[in-house]
Amino acid sequence: MAPGSFLALSHGSMDGLDKTLSPEQIQTAEEQYRRAADPLVLRTHDAIQRLFDGFTLVEPGLVYVPRWRPDGTDDGDLPPEMSGVYGGVARLPV
């Protein structure tokens, strides 16, 4: 990527979901994704953060997607970690 370019990504994670889903639900989901043509790879916050190595995150950083520029819409009052998805935007230094 050229210096000054931006990288935006969202990535699935079990962070937070493992506190609300049963072990059976997690096992079922993992089995289904293992059989998919493009299997889902869930990572922790720290592992996703490493995908931004060499970049400078812009505010609010790597956070659950509902916390990234929230617009105030009603999402059913679910906690942001229930999204199971982190998102971030970062810039490659010039």
pLDDT in tens, the chain (94 residues): 999 999 999 998 888 777 777 888 878 877 888 888 887 888 999 999 999 999 999 999 999 998 887 666 655 567 787 788 899 999 999 9
Q: Report if residue 85 sits inside a domain.
A: yes
Q: Report if residue 48 sits inside a domain.
A: yes
Q: Cα 22 vs. chain centroid, distance in angstroms? A: 20
Strands (E), the chain: 6-12, 56-57, 63-64, 85-91
Q: Report if residue 42 sits inside a domain.
A: yes
* In 1-94, alpha helices (H): 23-34, 45-50
- One-letter amino acid for residue 75 of the chain: D
pTM summary value: 0.80
Residue range(s) defining the domain that contains residue 16: 6-91
The predicted structure's pLDDT at residue 75: 57
Q: Report if residue 56 sits inside a domain.
A: yes
- Say how far apart CA 13 and CA 45 lie, in whole Å: 7
Q: Report if residue 1 sits inside a domain.
A: no
Alpha-carbon distance values, 65 to 21, 61, 74, 77, 93 (Å) = 19, 10, 14, 14, 24
The predicted structure's pLDDT at residue 93: 96
- How many domains are contained in the chain? 1
